[in-house]
Amino acid sequence: MSALALFSSIAAITSSPVTLLSMIPLVAIGLNYYRYTNSDPESHPIDVPVLRKHYDFIVVGSGSAGAVVAARLSEIENWNILLLEAGGDETEVSDVPALAGFLQLSDLDWKYKTVPHPQRSYCAAMKNDQCNWPRGKVLGGCTVLNAMIYVRGNKRDYDYWESLGNIGWGHKDVLPYFIKSEDQRNPYLARSPYHGTGGYLTVQEAPWRTPLSVTFINALKEMGYEHHDINGEEQVGAMFTQLNMRRGSRCSSSKAFLRPIRLRKNLHVAKFAHVTKILIDPNTKRTYGVEFVRNNKRQVAYATKEVVLSAGSLNSPQLMMLSGIGHAQHLQEMGVPVISDLPVGDNMHDHIGLGGLTFLVNEPVTVKTSRFANVPSFLEYVMHEKGPMTFPGIEGVAFVNTKYADPSGLWPDVQFHFGPSSINSDAGLHIRKITNLKDNVYNTVYKPLESAETWTILPLLLRPKSSGYVRLQSRNPFVQPRIEPNYFAFKEDIAVLTEGIKIAMNVSNTAAFQRFGSRPHTIPFPECRHIQLFTDEYWECAMRQFTFTIYHPTGTAKMGPNWDPTAVVDYRLRVYGVSGLRVIDASIMPAIVSGNPSAPVMMIGEKGADMIKEDWGVIKIH
């Protein structure tokens, strides 16, 4: 049966609107039958069933950085590389941009949660006062779960890193690695000296967007923010979202970097291989391998050169602590012999914002499940990779300056994510679940909007002062680490975010949005009813209630010089106090970047792989 015949049959038996949730199996069938077998020549990386005992390099984690590191190290033909991934393959559903939310809380997600704050200072509108922190447990890691947004950060982020003593991490040093990875598909950007073509990682705009996306850009123009390349000369301004998307499908780090090289004989990929410990000689402090569980069996692999941790900002510190690298007192309390006393798990920063900031319009120009969860939309996607199923959730981003921003005006302190939908847009089917919203909060604030046309801005604090930490909850490697984000510990963070919210409110007041009759939703959060609506006090209450993160934890194995007591790795990403062990992922960021970290983490993978090659004498970095 052809895909067209298949979906004609579906259409024939579907006499009423079908919910997005019930359509997922049909999408998987259609994609698997038609595009994966007929029009997409790529195939998944091979899961090697029998592994060698010894490899030159073992890479732990295949996410934003790990896939890059493994791919680049395997370019050296006489090096043997083992890539260990706790999860399995991407799925047909994970390819579909509009279905990204359904991947959270699935088998592709570690399903982590924050620890409840004793004073309920954040995440108070969530069940058990816990924010969900999805992490990718799949080839490609978080690049399979995220919104695919390609933002590099601000050039001053990297110059600041270098000023801390991290040689070679200034903007002029990292820019070539962004360009190296990139295959920019937008012609007007491909010609820019800030972009590259022909790399593994596809970058483009979504093939489909709503009329409100243009409205958002025009509104920001009214407010004095240019429409320009936020990944170019300067960051302040607005832009249609640049995405890691290929045609109309997600381009994860696995699809970009691992699939094209899947037949390399010197790269072994082991799926469903959960690493439980890094093997370090307690006398010599030399790293010599890893323990992992695969097929319910404990196995060991040995590294003759190095082990590279690319398990992410939560799992990399967890693995180090389980292996004896961390705060000595904490390790002793957990009964773990101390190998190297380092501040592992500290310095955790995250972009934090106010969730659920909702506006209403009078025209049918928003994204609603009831409007697009239908057979024609799925047919258009399966046959042509176009239409509303290519919708990534976020259609535009902007970087704005509050009154607290850097005096130069070139280092914005707040980022906007614009979405032509809101918490209510799927009638309470799934968004409320992945945000972990309490039923009474959803029913009070958002359920009354289920028939309305709504849009949202998510204002995010780019460089929070407040930092959290990760610790072990157990010596059992299968127990999630203890995640204490410590949001809003500094009043300055509340002040900056409040100003960002006010700017977001003004976006709705522009002529561009008033054309659609835009106005803010005015039902307060239940625990904020006693405060006058839209005052500074109300916004503080609201952000402590609907604390919203888009899951950007960084910095838990901080890069810094040997005189920095808060550093875990040096500027070559080598872990202090041991040999043969590097960390190459978001953990090493000394300060969080000003924007979505997916692209910067892939850059770290590129640069880290080159450092390894240089340190082992196979290339020279100029």
Tell me how far apart the alpha carbons of residues 459 and 352 are, in angstroms, rounded to a whole number. Answer: 8
Tell me how far apart the alpha carbons of residues 307 and 426 are, in angstroms, rounded to a whole number. Answer: 44
Query: What pLDDT is attached to residue 44?
Result: 87
Q: What confidence tier does 36 reach under pLDDT thresholds 50, 70, 90?
A: low
Which two three-digit tokens encode residue 225?
A: 């923010």
Query: What pLDDT is attached to residue 621?
Result: 76
Query: What pLDDT is attached to residue 33?
Result: 54
Going by the DSSP 8-state scheme, the letter that residue 597 receives in this structure is S
The residue with greater pLDDT, 579 or 102, is: 579
Query: What pLDDT is attached to residue 263?
Result: 95
Residue type, 402: T
Q: What are phi and psi of 220, to 5 degrees?
A: -65, -35
Q: Quick: pLDDT tens for 385-396.
A: 999 999 999 999
Is pLDDT at 12 greater than 70 in this prediction?
no
Question: CA triplet 400, 356, 211: central angle to 5 degrees?
Answer: 65
428: Cα separation from own chain's centroid: 24
Q: Which residues are catalytic?
A: 552
Instruction: Give the residue carrying structure tokens 């990718």.
Output: 136
Is pLDDT at 7 greater than 70 in this prediction?
no
Q: What is the mean pLDDT of residues 262-284?
A: 98
Domain boundaries 44-90+138-193+251-348+552-622, corresponding CATH code: 3.50.50.60
- In the chain, how long is the greatest CA-to-CA distance? 71
- Proportion of the chain above pLDDT 70, given as a percent: 93
Beta bridge partners of 591: none
Tell me how far apart the alpha carbons of residues 396 and 411 are, in angstroms, rounded to a whole number. Answer: 19
Q: What confidence tier does 379 reach under pLDDT thresholds 50, 70, 90?
A: confident
Other Cβ atoms less than 10 A from the Cβ of 136: the count is: 31
Q: Quick: pLDDT tens for 426-439.
A: 888 889 999 999 99
Q: What is the mean pLDDT of residues 301-318?
A: 99
The residue with greater pLDDT, 355 or 382, is: 355
Residues 6 or more apart whose CB falls under 8 angstroms from that of 167 comprise: 571
Q: What confidence tier does 19 reach under pLDDT thresholds 50, 70, 90?
A: very low
Query: What pLDDT is attached to residue 63?
Result: 97
Give the closest residue to 62 by CA, choosing from 255, 337, 285, 200: 255
Q: Quick: pLDDT tens for 156-180.
A: 999 999 999 999 999 999 999 999 9
Is pLDDT at 9 greater than 60 in this prediction?
no
96 is in an annotated binding site: no
Other Cβ atoms less than 10 A from the Cβ of 193: the count is: 9
The pTM assigned to this predicted structure is 0.95
Which two three-digit tokens encode residue 430?
A: 């799934």
375 is in an annotated binding site: no
Give the helix ranges, DSSP H, for 34-166: 66-73, 155-163
Q: Quick: pLDDT tens for 54-88.
A: 999 999 999 999 999 999 999 999 999 999 999 99
Is pLDDT at 38 greater than 80 in this prediction?
no
Q: Quick: pLDDT tens for 450-464.
A: 999 999 999 999 999
Q: What is the mean pLDDT of residues 113-140?
A: 97
Give the closest residue to 114 by CA, choosing from 135, 98, 94, 93: 135
The b/e string for 331-350 (b: 16+ C-beta within 10 A; e otherwise) is beeeebebbbbbbbbbbbbb
Domain boundaries 194-250+350-549, corresponding CATH code: 3.30.560.10
Query: Comparing 44-90+138-193+251-348+552-622 with 194-250+350-549, is the CATH topology the same?
Result: no
Domain boundaries, the chain: 3-39, 44-90+138-193+251-348+552-622, 194-250+350-549
Q: Quick: pLDDT tens for 592-618.
A: 999 999 999 999 999 999 999 999 999
Q: Quick: pLDDT tens for 492-501.
A: 999 999 999 9
Q: What is the DSSP string of 473-542?
A: S-S-TTSPPEEE--TT-SHHHHHHHHHHHHHHHHHHTSHHHHTTT-EE--PPPGGGTTS-TTSHHHHHHH
- Proportion of the chain above pLDDT 90, given as a percent: 87
Q: Quick: pLDDT tens for 340-353.
A: 999 999 999 999 99
Residues 6 or more apart whose CB falls under 8 angstroms from that of 350 comprise: 464, 468, 485, 487, 549, 551, 552, 553, 554, 592
Query: What pLDDT is attached to residue 622?
Result: 63
- Identify whether the C-beta of residue 308 lies closer than 8 Å to the C-beta of residue 588: no
Query: What pLDDT is attached to residue 362?
Result: 97
